[in-house]
Amino acid sequence: MKYLLVSDIHGCLPTLQQVLDFYDRNQYDMLLILGDILNYGPRNRIPEGIDPKGIVELLNNRKDSIVAVRGNCDAEVDQMLLEFPIMADYAIIVDGGRRMFITHGHVYNEQNRPALAHDIFVYGHTHLWKLEPAENDGIVCNLGSITFPKGGNEPTFATYDDGAMRIRRMDGSVIKELF
């Protein structure tokens, strides 16, 4: 299967639409959302193109192909609008015998790794992309943010297919990849 992973949308419809256009053009099978979907958060500025209702409509139309986890800015009121579950702190995706642990990063992160066995640890929350080999011969990946990248980074999302994790720019070009 082909997975597209995105985190920290923070209510910005234009950037999410760019990612979904890439998803459709490249025929991905599943969209994995790692939290902070609708709310921009009290520490962030209001993003240009904020449209939580538009995001709800766009994502609900794709609900059958979405796996999502809760971010620190996601609330029960968001779940009332979205027609796919978002309130779990993590999910496990198994593909080709590899276990991908996906989480937002505010509960489980590199300093508080889950005890559950996994080959790929994927998170967001910090808005700083990262893709590195892990100590256990696995992969550690932070998706960054499509709306509020930090540390001088550009907006990023990731893909996983054919055993490769790739960090991508908004135009879809690859910044870094690991197998």
CB distance 104 to 123 below 8 Å: yes
- The pLDDT assigned to 147 comes to 96
Question: In angstroms, how far is the first alpha carbon of the chain from the final one?
Answer: 15
pLDDT of residue 48: 86
pLDDT tier for residue 2 given thresholds of 50, 70 and 90: very high
Q: In whole numbers, what is the pLDDT of the chain averaged over residues?
A: 96
Q: Alpha helices of the chain — where are they, by DSSP H? A: 13-25, 52-60, 76-81
pTM: 0.96
pLDDT digits (tens, 9 = 90+) for 27-86: 999 999 999 999 987 777 787 899 999 999 999 999 999 999 999 999 999 999 999 999
Write the pLDDT tens digit of every residue in 143-163: 999 999 999 999 999 999 999
> Which domains are assigned to the chain?
3-178 (3.60.21.10)
Compute the distance between CA of residue 3 and CA of residue 157 in angstroms, rounded to an integer. Answer: 11
